[in-house]
Amino acid sequence: MSYKDITSKSILKAIVLDMAQYLLDMPLDSAELLETETQRVEDRRADLVVKARQNKKEFILHLEVQNNNQSNMPLRMLRYYTDIALNWPGYEVIQYLVYIGKAPLAMPSGIDRQNHFYQYHTIDMRQLDGSQFLKQKDPRAVVLAILCDFKGWGKRSLVREILRRIAELTQQNESHYRECVLMLEILSQNRDLTQMVKEEESMISDFKLEELPSYEIGLEKGIEKGIEKGIEKKQIEIILKAHAAGLNTAIISQITGLSEQEIKKICQ
């Protein structure tokens, strides 16, 4: 298993309650993470298995996160089901396959044969409205928007809004902010947006450039040059911060809409 897969699954374990509420429309009163491992020829471990409580009902919730289409997925899910049911007899087992891959979903949600019928729920993240996640108050839930249907959002504007919401919700908690940004970078790989995430994140870094005397001098000069061209002060500040963070003029031009020549003159 790759570093990316290990990291993705460990992060998703931390937001199992969020996933149940926002992905499955199943708000839980509690969720206790259970470790699962069955010794066969090899070790088999389901991704996320929790003993959940909703109102007075207790049950086992199994969430399997899948990055790519696999023809044997229904058989794998069935094997997970029997393992879980044998380990926790007496509990109802509810299973969800959460698909976050790049390619369109092409896996069935069960097995339907003459003498055998088995089915589980499938969630295709591409089909969900990302706006519902942007509205949440938990920044980890906000991050999930990167996997969803953008619903009219441009790619860069959505990435920018996700990062803005993360910064707003984590406020002065630097470690929590970095944790959420790391999660965003990892999941954005499945939408080919990792570079864009890094570019936008550098724009809103909490490193206080404006507190440096050299920045104040540069800002004054940049504002003078920018005002002469009719550029707003706020936009000039963004340009100078992006330049100081190491973004090249081509990227800054794409973000601000100004020409590279105009940007170079402001940053000189």
Most confident of 17-31, 40-54, 62-76, 172-186: 62-76
In this prediction, residue 176 has a pLDDT band, given cuts at 50, 70 and 90, of confident
Tokens of 140: 């980890």
Most confident of 12-16, 119-123, 168-172: 119-123
Lowest pLDDT segment from 1-15, 47-61, 83-97, 233-247: 1-15
Per-residue pLDDT, 45: 65
* 134 within 8 A of 102, measured Cβ to Cβ: no
Per-residue pLDDT, 215: 43
Mean pLDDT of 165-184: 84
In this prediction, residue 89 has a pLDDT band, given cuts at 50, 70 and 90, of very high
Taking the C-alpha atoms of residue 248 and residue 125, their distance in angstroms, rounded to an integer, is: 33
Name the residue with higher pLDDT: 26 or 4. Answer: 26
Domain 3-127 has CATH 2.40.128: no
Taking the C-alpha atoms of residue 111 and residue 2, their distance in angstroms, rounded to an integer, is: 29
With tokens 């001098």, the residue in question is 217
Domain boundaries of the chain, sorted by first residue: 3-127, 131-203, 209-267
Q: Each residue of 181-239: pLDDT tens digit?
A: 888 888 898 899 999 998 888 776 644 344 434 344 344 554 455 445 556 666 676 67
